[in-house]
Structure 1
Amino acid sequence: MSDHDHEHGPGGHAGHSHGVSADADRRWLSVALALIAAFMTVEVVVGIVAGSLALISDAAHMLTDAASIVLALIAMRLAARPARGGFTYGLKRAEILSAQANGLTLLLLSAWLAYEAVRRLIDPPPVAGGPMLVTALAGIAVNVVATWCISKANRTSLNVEGAYQHVLNDLFAFIGTAVAALLVVLTGFERADPIATLVVVALMVKAAYGLLRDSGRIFLEAAPADVDPDALGDRLVAQPDVVEVHDLHVWQITSGQAALSAHVLVEPGGDCHSVRRALEDVLRRDYGITHTTLQVDHAAEQVLQVALPGDRNATDDPGHCEAPHGPVHREEPHHH
C-alpha cells in the first residue's frame, strides 16, 4: 500500500504525462521522422553526384536521426505496456536500450566518417560546390522544422532527448556544410568539404558520449545524477524517531522514474507507520521519488549502544540484515 498510493499522486512529477500527451509526442516524432527520411534520400543522391563527403556524412547523421526517432517511437510503445509476467517493471528500460543503440551507432559512423575525411584531406577529390550548397541550405531548413517538432514532445524522456540531440547536432552539421560549400563555390578550396565532415564527427562523438554515459548509469543501477545517496541517507536518519538507515538503494527504472528501497530502524517506542509516512513525504517532496519500498522495524536495544555493523550480536532480530549493502547511516547520539 505504501508504494502505490503515492505512485500517481500530485507529487509524481516524473514521466507521468501519459495518455493524451504520449499520443501527441508520437505524432510530433512521426512528423519529424517523415521529414528527415524524405530529405535524407535526396541528400545521399546529391552527395554522390556532387562528390561531397560532408553531404554524405550529414546524410549518415540523418540516418541515425531517423533511427533514433524510430527507436524512440518503438520504445514509447513498449514502455507504455502494462507490467506483466516476468517483466515486473513493464518494458520501461526499452528506451534506455534504444539510447544505448543510438550512442553506439553514432560512434561507429563517426569513426568511419573521420577516416574518410582524413583520406580526403590528404588527397581531395573534386567537389561540386553549387549542388552541395543548395542541399546544405535545404538541410538547415528541414532540420529547423524537425528540431521544432521534437522539442514539442516530452524531452524528460532520455529517448526523446536522444532523438532531439541527434537532430539538433545535425542542424549544426548542416550549417558547417553550408559554410564549406560556400568556400568551395567562392574559392575552389575543396578541402573545406572534409574539414566540415570532421566538425560533424566531433558533434557526433559528443552526442554519443552523452547518450552512452546517461544510459550506462541507468543500466549500472547508479543513483539518479541529481541524488547523492549518502546525503539522502543522512537526511532520512535525521528524521524524528529514526535510529538507523541501511540497505539504502536508489536507482532509475528509466529516465525520470526513480525508485528507492531501504531498511529503517526506529526507536523501540516509536510508531513505525507514522515514521514511514514521514519518510515517504520527505522523499516525495524533496527528491521527487514516489516509488518507495521502506522496511521499517523497531531497533533492538543493543543497536543503540553497539556501533559496529559487523558485530554478530549487534541485534537480536533474526530478520535483520546480516551484511548490510553499502554504508550504514546511524543517528548521532547528540542529535536530540
Structure 2
Amino acid sequence: MTEPHSHDEADHGGHSHRSASHDQSHDQSHDHSHGGHGHSHVPKDFGPAFALGIALNVGFVVVEAAAGFLANSMALVADAGHNLGDVLGLLMAWGASILVKRRATFNFTYGFGSSTILAALANAVLLLVAVGAIALEAVQRLIEPAPVAGGTMIIVASIGILINGFTAWLFMSGREQDLNIRGAYLHMVADAAVSVGVVIVGIAVLLTGWNWLDPFVSLIIAGVIVWGTWGLLRDSVRLAMHGVPGNIDAERVRAQLIALPGVVSIHDLHIWPMSTTETALTCHLVMPEGHPGDAFIERTTKMLHDEFEIRHTTLQFEVGSGAPCGMGDGCADPVETARDAHQHA
C-alpha cells in the first residue's frame, strides 16, 4: 500500500518553503529496514485475546448480574455493571487495533492509527462513568442498608477473579508499549480488584452480619479504580492533543539534533503521536554548507528511532540564517536547498 506523505510548496511557520515533494510507499503491515537496521511497524496482534476476553466477560456479566439481584448484593450488581462497561471498552479497543492496520488513503495519509488514541481516551472516560454510577448507588445503600447473601457473593466474585485475572494476563505483555492495550489491561485489573473486594465483603458479612460493609467497600473500590484510571486518562488526553508522548524527552531530542555535525540551529521541531505505538517528528535543520547527503539522513533517522522510538521523521534542510519561525508573521525567508528529505525510520 502507499502512504502518500508530501511536503509540497506550502506556507509553513509563516514563511514560504521551496522544497521537493517526496512520496515513499510503505506498508504498516510489513517489516522494512532503513538505515541499516530493521524494525516493525506492526503492533502485536491481540485479536485472539480480545475475542476470548470479550466472550468470557459477556457470559460472566449475565451470571453476576442475575446473582447480584437474587442475593440483593450491591457489590455484585456494581461489579456486573462495571464488567459490562469493560466489555464495551474491550470492543472499542479491539476495533481500534483492527483499524490501525488498515491501509492509508489519500484522505487519511497517516492511516487510521489515531483510532487507538481515541479508544484509549474513550476507555478512560467509560471507566470513570462506571465508577460514578457505582459510587452513587453505594451511597444510597449506605443510607439504607439492605441484607445481602454473603455466600453467593463469595462464589460469584471468586469466579470473577479468575475470569478477569486471566483476561488481564492476556493483555499484560502489551500494556507498556501500547496505550490502547493498556486501557484494556487496566479494565480487567480493575474488575479483578472489584471481585476481590466483593469476596472480602461476603466473608465479612457472613462473620459479622454488617450489611453496610457491602456499599462501604464498593466506595473504596471505586476510589481505587479512579486512582488507577487517572494515568490512562492523562496520557490519552495528551496523545489526543498531539502532545509529545510521555516516553520521549523533547528537550533531549532538540539537543541531539542541534549537536549533529554541520547543524548551526534548528526550528519548527514538532513531535506528535500517530497512534498509541508510533511517533512522528518534523524539523528544520539550518546547515550553512547545504544538504549533507543521504548518509547523514540515514544516521539521523536511525538515531531518532533507536534512542527515542521515533519511527517517522521528516527533515528539511536550510542554508540560510533567517530567524527561527513559529506560527506567527514577520519571519524571514531562509534560503533552502531544493530538497526536502523525508525519511521513515
Alignment of 1:161 with 2:182, yes or no, is yes
- Aligned partner of 1:261 in structure 2 is 282
Alignment of 1:230 with 2:251, yes or no, is yes
User: 263-272 or 49-58, which moves further after superposition?
Assistant: 263-272
Q: Which protein has the bigger helix share?
A: 1
Q: CA deviation at 1:247?
A: 0.1
Q: Which of 211, 222, 228 lines up with 1:201 in the alignment?
A: 222
SS in 1 for 2:104: coil
**What does 1:56-75 correspond to in 2, within 5 Å?**
56-75=77-96
The amino acid of 1:264's aligned partner reads L
**What does 1:1-336 correspond to in 2, within 5 Å?**
8-9=32-33, 16-17=41-42, 21-22=44-45, 25-151=46-172, 156-268=177-289, 271-300=292-321, 317=335
Q: CA deviation at 1:318?
A: 8.1
User: 266-275 or 241-250, which moves further after superposition?
Assistant: 266-275
User: 240-249 or 122-131, which moves further after superposition?
Assistant: 122-131
SS in 1 for 2:289: coil
State the aligned residue count: 311
SS in 1 for 2:171: helix
SS in 2 for 1:80: coil
Check conservation: 2:154, 2:202, Cα contact below 8 A.
yes
**Partners of 2:129 and 2:262 in 1: how far apart?**
55
Note closer, same or farther for the CA distance 1:126–1:154 as it changes in structure 2 (3 Å cut). closer
Q: CA deviation at 1:211?
A: 2.3
SS in 1 for 2:52: helix
- Segments of structure 2 that go 5 or more residues without pairing to the other structure are 1-21, 339-345
What does the per-residue CA deviation read over 1:230-258, in whole Å, with 9 as the maximum and x for residues that have no partner?
22112111111111110000011111200
**Partners of 1:190 and 1:60 in 2: how far apart?**
20
- Segments of structure 1 that go 5 or more residues without pairing to the other structure are 321-336
Q: CA deviation at 1:260?
A: 0.2
The amino acid of 1:9's aligned partner reads S
SS in 2 for 1:8: strand
Check conservation: 1:3, 1:291, Cα contact below 8 A.
no
Q: CA deviation at 1:2?
A: 9.3
Note closer, same or farther for the CA distance 1:82–1:5 as it changes in structure 2 (3 Å cut). closer
TM-score (normalizing by structure 1):
0.83
Check conservation: 2:86, 2:187, Cα contact below 8 A.
yes
Note closer, same or farther for the CA distance 1:125–1:257 as it changes in structure 2 (3 Å cut). same
Q: CA deviation at 1:204?
A: 2.6
What does the per-residue CA deviation read over 1:142-190, in whole Å, with 9 as the maximum and x for residues that have no partner?
2222222333667622222111111011111111110001011111011
Please, what is the CA RMSD of the aligned residues?
A: 2.9
Note closer, same or farther for the CA distance 1:313–1:114 as it changes in structure 2 (3 Å cut). closer
**Partners of 1:197 and 1:140 in 2: how far apart?**
16
Q: CA deviation at 1:199?
A: 2.3
Note closer, same or farther for the CA distance 1:318–1:288 as it changes in structure 2 (3 Å cut). closer
**Partners of 2:104 and 2:289 in 1: how far apart?**
38
Note closer, same or farther for the CA distance 1:52–1:243 as it changes in structure 2 (3 Å cut). same
Note closer, same or farther for the CA distance 1:9–1:199 as it changes in structure 2 (3 Å cut). farther
TM-score (normalizing by structure 2):
0.81
SS in 2 for 1:190: coil
Check conservation: 1:12, 1:290, Cα contact below 8 A.
no
What does the per-residue CA deviation read over 1:177-227, in whole Å, with 9 as the maximum and x for residues that have no partner?
100010111110111101221122113322432222111111111111122
The amino acid of 1:163's aligned partner reads A
**Partners of 1:169 and 1:311 in 2: how far apart?**
50
**Partners of 1:296 and 1:318 in 2: how far apart?**
6
Note closer, same or farther for the CA distance 1:153–1:27 as it changes in structure 2 (3 Å cut). farther
